[in-house]
Structure 1
Amino acid sequence: MASLTGASLNFTSLSSSFNRTQAPLRGISNVNSVSFQSIRMRPGSLRFRVSCAAKPETVNKVCEIVRKQLALPEDSSVTGESKFAALGADSLDTVEIVMGLEEEFGISVEEESAQSITTVQDAADMIEKLIKSRDA
């Protein structure tokens, strides 16, 4: 049995949310992040949705593009969890980041989707979904 190390588990319910890192999961390998969202349907019943994060190479490429668009130093810390606003991006910067992503990955991002991107990880996940639907 394989175990997942260095992963992030996100549990979200209507009443609470918390993150747990480096939790072992049996039978899962080569996954960087897993999100669990629970929705209470009725007392005692839960429904979970599982989604896996983008590939590390996609996240790294998005980090490079964000760093370049925001003119951040090469050694600045930009990770999947980095929020564009925390890096100093305003709405125009975010539009330019999305345009850079479209050019680099050969995708087209709908305006509604672009507005929902707040972190590097959001952008990387969206890119992989768009590439997957484009190639299907």
Structure 2
Amino acid sequence: MASIAGSALSFAKPVKAISTSSLSFSSAKRGSVFLRLQPVPMRFAVCCSAKKDTVDKVCEIVRKQLAVPEGTDVAGATKFSDLGADSLDTVEIVMGLEEEFGISVEESSAQAIATVEDAATLIDQLVSAKST
């Protein structure tokens, strides 16, 4: 059981630090542990962006499959759910993408698609793997 008093955190049982990269422990007196949060550096993920042509084609297919009203912005960062898509709509989008690009998307990969960019990146990877 832990109790918090001010900025001190005391534990009834011994504390084992799992990661010291973001936490530091110090003891001011026996039986008390003070928890100090250290700033954690920001981490950036670098990934290959999809080709613009692929993103544009995916946007067209998404607009068609979801009957998106004219003037509604659909771009790489657009989430299917923000356009009102449910899981069945997403399956239909994936089927349209498979037909358009001549690829086959595994179910596990299809479940990871949430945005236009996700779909376009996966398509570029599958098309590239297919051509080699």
TM-score tier after normalising by the smaller chain length: 0.5 to 0.7
**2-structure distance, mates of 1:67, 1:90:** 14
**2-structure distance, mates of 1:16, 1:66:** 37
Secondary structure at the counterpart of residue 54 of structure 1: coil
Q: Could you tell me which residue of structure 2 aligns to residue 129 of structure 1?
A: 125
Q: Could you tell me which residue of structure 2 aligns to residue 82 of structure 1?
A: 78
Q: Could you tell me which residue of structure 1 aligns to residue 25 of structure 2?
A: none
Secondary structure at the counterpart of residue 52 of structure 1: coil
**2-structure distance, mates of 1:16, 1:73:** 42
Residue type matched to 1:100 in 2?
Answer: G
| Number of residue pairs the alignment of both structures matches | 94
TM-score (norm 1): 0.65
**2-structure distance, mates of 1:127, 1:78:** 18
Matched, 1:73 2:66: no
Aligned ranges 1:45-124 → 2 under 5 Å: 50-124=46-120
**2-structure distance, mates of 1:121, 1:51:** 11
Larger radius of gyration: 2
TM-score (norm 2): 0.67
Q: Could you tell me which residue of structure 2 aligns to residue 22 of structure 1?
A: none
Residue type matched to 1:113 in 2?
Answer: S
Q: CA RMSD in A?
A: 1.8
* Structure 1 unaligned spans of 5+: 1-13, 19-35, 38-49
Secondary structure at the counterpart of residue 47 of structure 2: strand
Deviation by residue 1:4-42 (Cα, 9 ceiling, x = unmatched): xxxxxxxxxx95658xxxxxxxxxxxxxxxxx43xxxxx
Q: Could you tell me which residue of structure 2 aligns to residue 24 of structure 1?
A: none
**2-structure distance, mates of 1:125, 1:78:** 16
**1-structure distance, mates of 2:113, 2:41:** 23
